[in-house]
Each structure stands twice: as C-alpha cells, then as structure tokens.
Amino acid sequence: MSNCPIPEVRKKWVKRIIEHDGVDGHEGGLEKWIRLAIVCGLTREETIDERHVLPAVRFAVDAYLNFAKSKPWPIAIGSSLTELFAPHLMAKRLAAFEKYYTWIAPEVLDYFRSRITQAEQDSDFALKATLEYCLDRRMQEEAVSAIRFKCDVLWSILRRIIMQELSNHFVQASKRRPLAKTRALYRSTV
C-alpha cells in the first residue's frame, strides 16, 4: 500500500495492519497465532523464527508478498478478494477446532473468532476499492488474474502441508509395521 497515492485508501487499509500487529496493549492477530502455537506444543521462539515453516510454504508466501509489492496497488488489493469467502470458512474452522480439539481453551481461538467479522469488513473494502479503481478492461482482467494467482498460492500452501502430513503418517505407519510385512500386504493386493 505504500505506492497508493490516495490517503483515504491507505487510512482504511492500515486497519488491517493494526489488526494483525496489535496496538497500545491490545493483542493483534499475530500474537493470537503465537498463543495457539504455544498451546499446540511449539515454543514462542520456534514460532517467531519460523524454523518449522516448510520451504515450499515459505516460497509461496514470499511469491505472494513480492506480487503484492510489485503490482499496482488496486491489483494488490484485488488479490485479497479471496477473503470474500473467509467469514464462512473461518466459522467452519472454528467449529472444527471446538469439536475436535477440546483441550484448546476457547480464548486461544480468538484469532478465528475475530477474523469472522474482520474478514467480512476487509473483503467489503477490497471489493469496493477494486470496483472503484480498476476502471478499464485491462485493470479488471489484471484484478481477476490477481485473484487466480492468490488462489494458486493458497492451493500450493495447502497441498504442501497435506503432503507433509501424509508423509508423516506413512513414516509413523512404517515404524509400527515391519517392511517385510508391508511388502507382503502390498503383494496380496496386486
């Protein structure tokens, strides 16, 4: 947003930064994520230094950051329109957390609760800004391409995390079942 010449747009966008970073003794989204990570068994240091971030995930996030920095500001805002679907998804994630992770205290899930309303406000602003500032056909098509790019980034992140979890599952399964038995089971299915 530093390349946006319109103060009113920057003032509205800065709200997102404050929501994530926090302000004047009020915890932001980043701190809420750290609290969740600690409850799940990571240390604050492990979370902040990102040592467990998968290389492919880091690559995808960096690609999105570079995209947002290098594109015209209306296109960068347009890429955030994936949040149009976030309130519904956050509500589903929150319900799943509460159902399957009952050992997590309700207040630790504050990030998800706050994003239900924040994402709706953020996507409303992004949609209005995109419609207002992407006036010609070229900018509109670029905004649509930006949303596709962001979806590709999100898909890449999700795919890599799923692949890691499957890999972890198979490694754990192989420790429980000797290789000879695994081969015998495989041969019996072929």
Cα distance between residue 81 and residue 57, in whole Å:
21
pLDDT in tens, the chain (190 residues): 778 999 999 998 888 888 889 988 888 899 999 999 999 899 999 999 999 999 999 999 999 999 999 999 999 999 999 999 888 988 998 999 899 989 888 889 988 898 899 999 999 999 999 999 999 999 999 999 999 999 999 999 999 999 998 888 777 776 765 555 655 655 665 5
Which residues, listed in sequence order, are joined to residue 23 by a DSSP beta bridge?
A: 26
- Whether residue 146 is contained in a domain is answered as yes
Note whether residue 100 is domain-resident.
yes
Query: Contact 114/86 with Cβ under 8 angstroms?
Result: no
Say if CB 133 and CB 74 are below 8 A apart.
yes
* Domain-located, residue 142: yes
**What is the pTM (predicted TM-score) of this model?**
0.82
Q: Residue 33 carries which side chain, given as an amino acid letter?
A: W
Q: What is the pLDDT of residue 66?
A: 96
**Within a domain: residue 122?**
yes
Asked if residue 28 is part of any domain, the answer here is yes
Beta bridge mates, 26: 23
Domain count, the chain: 1
The answer to whether 20 touches 29, Cβ cutoff 8 Å, is yes
Structure token pair of residue 145: 């391409």
Whichever domain contains 120, its CATH number is 1.20.910.10
Q: 2 in a domain, yes or no?
A: no
